[in-house]
Amino acid sequence: MAGLVVTANGRRIPWVRDRVNMWAFHIDVPQGASALELNFQYLAPVKPRQGRISNKFADLTWNSVLLYPAGYFARRIQFSPELRLPEGWKFATSLDVKSQNGNVVQFKDVPLNTLIDSPLYAGINYKRVDLSTGPDAPVYLDVFADQTEQLDITSEELEYHKNLVIQAEKLFSSRHYDRYDFLFSLSDSVGGKGLEHHQSSEDGTRANYFTDWLAGVAGRALLAHEYVHSWNGKFRRPADLWTTNFNVPMQNDLLWVYEGLTDYYGNVLTARSGLRTLEQTRDVFAGIAANFEASPGRTWRPLDDTTNQPIISAHGARPEEWASWQRGYDYYPESDLVWLDADTKIRELSNGQKSLDDFARLFFGIDNKSYVTVTYTFDDLVKILNAVQPFDWASFFRIRVYQVEAQVPEDGFTRSGYRLVYNDTESEWMKHMDRSRGISFATSLGFAVKAGGGVAQDDDDDTSDGSITGVWWNSPAFKAGMTPDMQLKAVNDQSFSLATLREAILAAEKSNAPVKLLLKRGKEYITVSLDCHGGLRYPHLERVESTPDRLDEILAPIK
């Protein structure tokens, strides 16, 4: 932000920035002035490290282009937004349009809280896909892409996305929007995004989302996750996360519900709608548990403490090193396991008569069509769970969320009729995971190595430069002294490639010989020998015969 000039009755007034709150400006309003005029510019990113950039697309977050009077409830501050778009650009937003004259759009008056919660996507290549189940509360997929051909959606893909809306409405038995807009950008240059709002979400993923369906399987839960937030997070919100205005700090301790339950139902609805297959979904859950089995951070830090991570990591801090030990945003994936645990517990105790879906209906399915936020506390949550299935839910969550618990919460697998196993076959889901943090050997040798430039695993193997992108705490690699500033040069006296590394791990499975690695750190060469004979150890869920398959029940569409 730059160029701030404040005037009243045509006269310039000085401003002083607050010494503690960098986002507050003190202005002495002169006698007799009934209005202030504030003039300033928002300076959009021009380099990738500054933010999302494109000359074909814009994600307008209103909070980056406004100032507001301090000391009022956000809902009592009215705005009349007006927007001038580049010639020929289309736009989508959950705001209602009052009038449009060429490329100038006037929106209906909105209070500050709704405005900030209603961002706008605009761009050149745009397609609106109708996902509505009826005329009552329409749902749209507003797609913006780098190229027009990337907007092409197959009839099968359309069906899956429509199913998502059908399944969410059946799950929650309510809606808390007049109209819902998935603002969806498909681009390899702009970068990904997932941010929830009450009547829309800002979603961004790879350019080939529709054109190479399988390639996007790893990130496929994005839309379901953000959509669930309309109910969980926006409509029902932890009391500590509701504040009178945006300058009042929020507290995060119930993010294991706000984000954790959303992540769980995001994955579940992604399966129920057909966006992912059952097998892919089982692999996702197996992958989550496997990463925690390889990450000892949970032996000292309770899950709930990771809900402070957004504040600890705030202000542009980069992802921290040794994440397996200090932990990161674990309240997302670990809560998936906790909520699967709870869901299967309800199903077991009620002999299949009740499930977490009943909780979802009771908890979120109130005040249909209202979008006035209803807050809750830990006790409210426990009360509704008890109404569904009497149990000591308070202790259940205290142990798993608020206490140090060395055991990875895998009872949900056992109760579902599955066990976590490892073998040499990499799942489809893992093959298509985000490779920006490297190719993971976390569950075998205990490190990740930089991916090559190829798009598929096969054409990747010769182009990786061997940079170690992560070492898991207390893993074989860690104990041998490997650190993330090293580069892998050779494996068993052969030049490094990802293929050579995989072959060496497989060879060690059939022999007593260790995997020998030649590493480089700065100008120094280091040789380490890792005594690992378990193979590649890719995680999967294996069916335990003659037990009820509750996971299949959970992932089946609601009729």
Chain residues in the site for Zn ion (CB under 5 A): 259
- Give phi and psi for 407, each to the nearest 5: -70, 130
CB of 99 to Zn ion, least distance (A): 34
Could you tell me if 225 and 195 are in contact, meaning their C-beta atoms sit under 8 angstroms apart?
A: no
CB of 424 to Zn ion, least distance (A): 34
How many Cα atoms are found within 13 Å in the side-chain-facing hemisphere of 405?
A: 19
Cα dist from 544 to 279, 419, 420, 548, 552, whole Å: 15, 7, 10, 9, 13
CB of 310 to Zn ion, least distance (A): 11
| Nearest residue to 449 (alpha-carbon basis) of 505, 510, 513, 525 | 505
- Residue with Cβ nearer Zn ion (193 or 543): 193
How many other CB atoms sit within 10 Å of the CB of residue 411?
A: 18
CB of 533 to Zn ion, least distance (A): 40
| Nearest residue to 227 (alpha-carbon basis) of 307, 140, 298 | 140
CB of 383 to Zn ion, least distance (A): 24
Cα dist from 513 to 477, 482, 492, 518, 537, whole Å: 16, 19, 10, 16, 18
CB of 194 to Zn ion, least distance (A): 7
- Residue with Cβ nearer Zn ion (255 or 323): 255
CB of 557 to Zn ion, least distance (A): 23
Instruction: Identify the bridge partners of residue 490 per DSSP, sorted by sequence position.
Output: 495, 518
CB of 478 to Zn ion, least distance (A): 31
- One-letter amino acid at 440 equals S
Could you tell me if 16 and 4 are in contact, meaning their C-beta atoms sit under 8 angstroms apart?
A: no
- Residue with Cβ nearer Zn ion (180 or 325): 180
CB of 183 to Zn ion, least distance (A): 15
Q: What tokens were used for 299?
A: 């032996």
Could you tell me if 121 and 59 are in contact, meaning their C-beta atoms sit under 8 angstroms apart?
A: yes
Instruction: Identify the bridge partners of residue 277 per DSSP, sorted by sequence position.
Output: none
**In the complex, which residue's CB is closest to Zn ion?**
259
For residues 335 and 359, what is the distance between their CA atoms, to the nearest angstrom?
A: 16
Q: What tokens were used for 149?
A: 């051909």
CB of 179 to Zn ion, least distance (A): 21
Reading phi first (left if > 0) and then psi (alpha if -120 to 50, else beta), residue 522 is in: left
- Residue with Cβ nearer Zn ion (175 or 234): 234
| Nearest residue to 266 (alpha-carbon basis) of 321, 320, 199, 194 | 194
For residues 30 and 10, what is the distance between their CA atoms, to the nearest angstrom?
A: 12
- Residue with Cβ nearer Zn ion (259 or 357): 259
How many other CB atoms sit within 10 Å of the CB of residue 197?
A: 23
- Residue with Cβ nearer Zn ion (56 or 220): 220
- Residue with Cβ nearer Zn ion (29 or 311): 311
- Residue with Cβ nearer Zn ion (91 or 258): 258
| Nearest residue to 264 (alpha-carbon basis) of 167, 205, 333 | 333
- Residue with Cβ nearer Zn ion (142 or 259): 259
CB of 266 to Zn ion, least distance (A): 8
For residues 254 and 382, what is the distance between their CA atoms, to the nearest angstrom?
A: 13
Cα torsion angle, 526, 531, 534, 540, sign = negative
The greatest distance separating any two alpha carbons of the chain, rounded to the nearest whole angstrom, comes to 88
- Residue with Cβ nearer Zn ion (227 or 413): 227
- Residue with Cβ nearer Zn ion (259 or 330): 259
Could you tell me if 217 and 280 are in contact, meaning their C-beta atoms sit under 8 angstroms apart?
A: yes
Look at strands 15-17 and 25-27 and give their pairing: antiparallel
